[in-house]
Chains A and B, each alone.
Chain A
Amino acid sequence: DGGITQSPKYLFRKEGQNVTLSCEQNLNHDAMYWYRQDPGQGLRLIYYSQIVNDFQKGDIAEGYSVSREKKESFPLTVTSAQKNPTAFYLCASSIATNQPQHFGDGTRLSIL
């Protein structure tokens, strides 16, 4: 079955630690996205990528980094510079940036 796989489902971060969230898709989509979801707020865009080896910052990129070395993969690193990382992180992909985005089932990140 085609889809988007995010791992792990739950992740805990210690102070000063960088953590990486995985996102893999087998839909052959060119565009991929990372969102952050907090209670009572809409999804907020962290980074997006339209094509391999290219990505742009979204509205809340500070404290995060990404890479896009393969079409199928778009990992997100939450760095120690992100002071409030506790949230539900969602990865999405689409055929093109003006087409519907399809989401994975998210990673919930908490602070130890």
Chain B
Amino acid sequence: EDQVTQSPEALRLQEGESSSLNCSYTVSGLRGLFWYRQDPGKGPEFLFTLYSAGEEKEKERLKATLTKKESFLHITAPKPEDSATYLCAVHPNSGYALNFGKGTSLLVTP
């Protein structure tokens, strides 16, 4: 069965304290892995797509990486406005639906 597990469930950082969020997955072939940011009461906002092991994408303070079994979202020198829930989703070769993890809730304090 396809599974997506995100860790930690919650993370509290001081402003400027870099860290990483993890997304581990087991799927029968990976068509793509997606990272989203979700603010309270809003829909998820697309951040990155990764398609193959070794691929990396960057946007401002965020960098996403992919291996054959997991993806990391690295946050460098975070600011309070980076506080949000970060969702990981995988698109397996079988089927059309995305499998979402439960998310990591990030709080960055000044």
Hey, which bits of chain A sit against chain B, CB under 8 A? 4, 6, 31, 33, 40-45, 48, 50, 56, 58-59, 90, 92, 97-98, 100-106, 108
Interface range on chain B (Cβ under 8 Å from partner): 20 to 34
Enumerate chain B residues within 8 angstroms of A44, measured Cβ to Cβ: 100
The answer for the CA separation of A43 and B89 in the assembled complex, in Å, is 9
Other 12 A-B pairs with CB < 8 A, given A42-B4, A56-B96, A106-B43:
A6-B43, A42-B99, A48-B96, A48-B97, A50-B96, A90-B43, A92-B43, A100-B46, A101-B98, A103-B44, A105-B42, A106-B42
Enumerate chain A residues within 8 angstroms of B45, measured Cβ to Cβ: 103
Main DSSP-derived SS at the B contact region: strand
Out of B32, B43, B46, B101, which one reaches A42, CB within 8 Å? Answer: B101
Enumerate chain A residues within 8 angstroms of B97, measured Cβ to Cβ: 33, 45, 48, 58-59
Q: Is the CB of A90 within 8 A of B44?
A: yes
Q: Is the CB of A40 within 8 A of B42?
A: no
The answer for the CA separation of A74 and B32 in the assembled complex, in Å, is 25
Enumerate chain A residues within 8 angstroms of B103, measured Cβ to Cβ: 42
The answer for the CA separation of A105 and B40 in the assembled complex, in Å, is 10
Enumerate chain A residues within 8 angstroms of B49, measured Cβ to Cβ: 100
Q: Is the CB of B100 within 8 A of A98?
A: no
Out of A40, A48, A58, A101, which one reaches B102, CB within 8 Å? Answer: A40
Enumerate chain A residues within 8 angstroms of B87, measured Cβ to Cβ: 42-43
The answer for the CA separation of A105 and B4 in the assembled complex, in Å, is 23
Enumerate chain B residues within 8 angstroms of A41, measured Cβ to Cβ: 102
Q: Is the CB of A98 within 8 A of B32?
A: yes
Min CB–CB distance A101 → chain B (angstroms) = 7
Q: What is the chain B residue whose CB lies nearest that of A58?
A: B97
Min CB–CB distance B106 → chain A (angstroms) = 16
Q: Considering the complex, which residues of chain B in the window 1-48 have a beta carbon less than 8 Å from any beta carbon of chain A? A: 4, 31-32, 34, 36, 41-46
A sample of 8 cross-chain residue pairs with beta-carbon separation below 8 angstroms, ordered by A number, consists of A41-B102, A48-B97, A98-B96, A101-B98, A103-B43, A103-B46, A105-B41, A106-B41
